[in-house]
Amino acid sequence: MALFTKQEALDYHSMGRKGKIEVVPVKPCATQKHLSMAYSPGVAEACLEIAEDETKSYEYTARGNLVAVISNGTAVLGLGNIGAAAGKPVMEGKGVLFKVFADVDCYDINLDVTDPDKLIEIAKSMEPTFGGINLEDIKSPECFYIEETLKKEMNIPVFHDDQHGTAIVTAAGMMNAVEISGKKAQDLRVVVSGAGASAIACTNLYRNMGVKPENIAMFDSRGHINKSRTDLNKFKQQYATDIEYGSLAEAMVGADCFLGLSVKDMVSKDMVKSMSDNCPIIFACANPDPEITYNDAKEARPDCIMGTGRSDYPNQVNNVLGFPFIFRGALDCGATAITEEMKLAAAQALADLAKEEAPQSVCDAYGVDKLEFGRDYVIPKALDLRLIEYVSVAVAKAAMEAGIARKQLNLDEYRKELRQRIADSTKRVSSFVDSYDLGI
């Protein structure tokens, strides 16, 4: 059942101040002295300090807590290539999630640009303004080239959430599912339906967890990706196998794990029944309707560990579990990049949190009596306020260990600071929202 009508959604975006975000000053500007320090002539003192040492821009400006959400609107949610203007509500929404969940400030940058080299040039030119770049809703395969190039040529974290967000969350679920089933990552046979940005990023991260490339069967819209095909780009070619499967159903026989990032109804009950013994793992993440519904999968295999992108069933694969806290940790330690080690650390932190007893407040938010680690709880809930402590600390720690952090944090103190920061931020946001009566 829909939680809202079309008109309610439109009213939400249009009533009161238009859109979902605004810029709010954080320093007083009520006296002549305030004004002279905020702008001329006092602002010159900060400018001159930064001119001598550019890293001081993190001290005297908002840069250290500011992320650019950059998109050209070529692959928006389940809407496809709708353009930069039509994609702007999504990018504003991303900014809301950054702020609410991790107190990270954002500007959404919606570019009417389809040439990847031009987009790269524009993004690079904005480095002095931002502490990090979150690429969003850019179509494949251009998104791979754009991210790879920006990571090489920029000295701030660059992260394409459509790729890595889903990868991190499903990897966390897989870590716990493997533990429950008693299996090992290196022994898993994985079937992937979809070969776009998210699917390839997920599979890359699974390989870093120990899954062997020869045990991966990936399918795109034309069928199984194998070495006899001549229509594969370089990103798909890495998953071309000597084995050739005639169908998804054939590959599913005996498979330990299914990852779906394609379209609804790709998987039948019989296909689920044919999977391996003992807790087959299913992450059916097609949006908004999964490759197989939770109920159908559980009916076919009651022992399966099942996750979807939906919030109304267990084990929701929700990117908000990752990106706000990954950037929080990266910004706070002054990381110059987001590495594979940082992504794996985020996944492990999520897996660890799912093993902890959920607070009653989280249970109440989801209308359940309790949440206990097991087949229907291998991924933590998005409204668990402990996420910022677990994930951000793990990411910062991984960055420091990799030698790419400008700051060395005391992790115990950092954890306390994060706890207080999210408490203060929650109060500010709640107070602000309460000042608007949207009738919702």
Which residues, listed in sequence order, are joined to residue 135 by a DSSP beta bridge? 70, 160
Q: Was 364 annotated as part of a binding site?
A: no
Distance (Å, whole) CA 287 – CA 108 = 23
Phi, psi of 303 (to 5 degrees): -85, 0
> Active site includes 20?
no
Start-end of H helices in 301-339: 323-332
Note whether 134 and 322 are within 8 A (CB): no
Note whether 84 and 112 are within 8 A (CB): yes
Helices 161-181 + 340-354 axis angle, to 10 = 50
Q: Was 318 annotated as part of a binding site?
A: yes
Residue 439: CB partners within 8 Å, gap ≥ 6? 11, 15
Measured CA to CA in angstroms, residue 235 lies from 49, 81, 140, 225 at distances of 45, 21, 10, 11
Beta strands in 141-263 (DSSP E): 158-160, 190-193, 216-220, 223-224, 257-260
> Active site includes 60?
no
Measured CA to CA in angstroms, residue 255 lies from 184, 264, 266 at distances of 13, 20, 15
Q: Was 270 annotated as part of a binding site?
A: no
Q: Was 22 annotated as part of a binding site?
A: no
Distance (Å, whole) CA 438 – CA 238 = 50
Q: Was 187 annotated as part of a binding site?
A: no
Note whether 252 and 271 are within 8 A (CB): yes
Start-end of H helices in 128-257: 142-153, 161-181, 197-209, 234-237, 248-252
Catalytic residue among 94, 139, 236, 298: 94
Catalytic residue among 39, 118, 184, 436: 39
Closest CA to 410 of 393, 429, 389: 393
- The greatest distance separating any two alpha carbons of the chain, rounded to the nearest whole angstrom, comes to 75
Overall size of the chain counted in residues = 440
Note whether 266 and 290 are within 8 A (CB): no
Measured CA to CA in angstroms, residue 63 lies from 58, 126, 405 at distances of 5, 11, 16
Binding-site residues for a divalent metal cation, in ranges, read 136-137, 162
Instruction: Point out the residues that are catalytic.
Output: 39, 94
Binding-site residues for (S)-malate, in ranges, read 287, 318
Binding-site residues, in ranges, read 136-137, 162, 287, 318
